[in-house]
Amino acid sequence: MLRTLMTGKLHLVITTSAEIDYIGSCAIDQNLMDAAGILPNEQIHLWNVNNGERLVTYAIKAPRGSDIISVNGSTAHRACVGDILILAAFGQLTETEAHHHQPKVVFVNQYNQIITPEEARKLGVVTDPVPNS
């Protein structure tokens, strides 16, 4: 049996743009994608902390170091610039893999720059326990 587990998460990123006239997807700074183990065209779940919207889309690369989180196409109707999002990817793992799996959880500051779990804790972004700390 395969289990579906979270493989990577970008916790509390800030929406930097919303492009309605775009085919679709969510553009993510490549540094953030790499840190969370999210691949281009991978299915991601997008949870909007501001309005409670939850949806499924796919990731595309934004330029490395740009700090961009851009919701595109119909997704742009569900998030505005400045909205706080959680982006998560999931994968199917065997029972054995699932018991040893640790998701990649990435924390960011108000500029979508990667910070340590300790820095996130100081900012009040996260409380214990922190995965990968």
Q: Give the catalytic positions in this structure.
A: 25, 58
Question: Please, which residues bridge with residue 9 across strands?
Answer: 88, 105
Please count the other Cβ atoms lying within 10 Å of the Cβ belonging to residue 75.
Answer: 24
Cβ-based neighbours of 46, under 8 Å, separated by 6 or more: 26, 53, 54, 55, 56, 57, 71, 75, 78, 79, 85, 86, 87
- Nearest CA to 79 out of 26, 8, 11 is that of 26
